[in-house]
Chains A and B, each alone.
Chain A
């Protein structure tokens, strides 16, 4: 596989469930990102991992918990979500010190909280 792969593509969960989103990149990049994209809202940067260390957390509620076990994998653990958390969650990766390459995005996970 090449590029950035996100699983699952679609997820429906109840407000009391616990689930995880997975992102894997096959590009040899060393920075990874989680974005939230809600209808009629700008892209919201949630978390940034740089060389497996979290370097940015944009005031994201604690019901979202990221994990980056290595530079190729990124998870977003979800628990006790609210209906307003329904959105498209996008993962991206990039190469530190190669910012002219931009980001490579996955296809996203469409999350619906019921």
Chain B
């Protein structure tokens, strides 16, 4: 069975500071890993994903994440936070080869950016 743990339900940073949102997963087979962002009263939007190949993946809005198999982690980073990054972020995992690609989501991390 697959699971996702996001460390920290709330993260607060200053504008211009590094953003680091943590995600650890468990999976019995090689995983596909995703980060989604949700703005207030909106659906979830795909930020980036890891499937195979390069372990450092880049997404939209300057975000990137690194797949570390030995640490079972997929942390999301952005070098310099912007006010518009304030949102809730969800990490998700999908086992390769599952019958319909079911995603398991973490509990979410709310990012606050203050001036």
A 96-114 contacts with B by CB, 8 A: 96-108, 110
Question: Which of A50, A96, A103 has the most B CB atoms < 10 Å from its CB?
Answer: A103
Q: How large is the interface on A (under 10, 10 to 19, 20 to 34, 35 or more residues)?
A: 20 to 34
Closest to B46 in A: A102
Residues in B whose Cβ lies below 8 Å from that of A99? 32, 94-96, 98, 100-103
Question: A43-B90, A108-B43 given as contacts; is B103 within 8 A of A103 (CB)?
Answer: yes
Asked whether A74 is an interface residue with its Cβ less than 8 Å from the other chain, the reply is no
Q: A94 touches which one: B51, B90, B96, B100 (CB < 8 A)? A: B100
Question: A42-B108, A43-B90 given as contacts; is B102 within 8 A of A48 (CB)?
Answer: yes
Asked whether B61 is an interface residue with its Cβ less than 8 Å from the other chain, the reply is no
Can you offer 24 A-B residue contacts whose CB atoms are under 8 A?
Answer: A31-B100, A31-B101, A43-B105, A43-B108, A55-B100, A88-B41, A90-B44, A92-B43, A94-B100, A94-B103, A98-B101, A99-B32, A99-B95, A99-B96, A99-B101, A99-B102, A99-B103, A100-B49, A102-B34, A102-B46, A102-B94, A105-B43, A105-B44, A107-B41
Extra 5 A-B pairs, beta carbons < 8 Å, given A88-B41, A103-B103: A42-B106, A90-B44, A99-B32, A101-B101, A102-B103
